[in-house]
Amino acid sequence: MAAETPTARYRHGSDTGHTSTDFVLLTAPAGAIRLHKCLTAPRAPAAGALEGLACPSTGLQPLG
């Protein structure tokens, strides 16, 4: 008997640009979708993206 592959509970996508980062979070199997946008700075877009991931409105919870 083959072992079952665990099903992902969440799927996350993001698009980082020069002025903002867009986030989408899909909660499976319910199919609920959350959208979030945060500002980014052209000189440090990664910092804005990480800040957006830490925002409670994304629905993501920190590990630990």
Domain range list for the chain: 14-55
The model scores a pTM over 0.85: no
Q: Which residue has the higher pLDDT, 31 or 5?
A: 31
d(CA 27, CA 16): 21
pLDDT of residue 1: 54
Residue 56 has pLDDT above 70, yes or no: no
Q: What are the residues whose beta carbons fall under 8 Å from the beta carbon of 36, sequence distance 6 or more? A: 22, 23, 24, 25, 52, 55, 57, 58, 59
pLDDT at 59: 58
Tracing tokens 């002025």 back to the chain, one arrives at 19
pLDDT one-digit tens code per residue, 7-42: 668 888 889 888 888 888 888 778 888 888 888 888
Q: Which residue has the higher pLDDT, 22 or 62?
A: 22
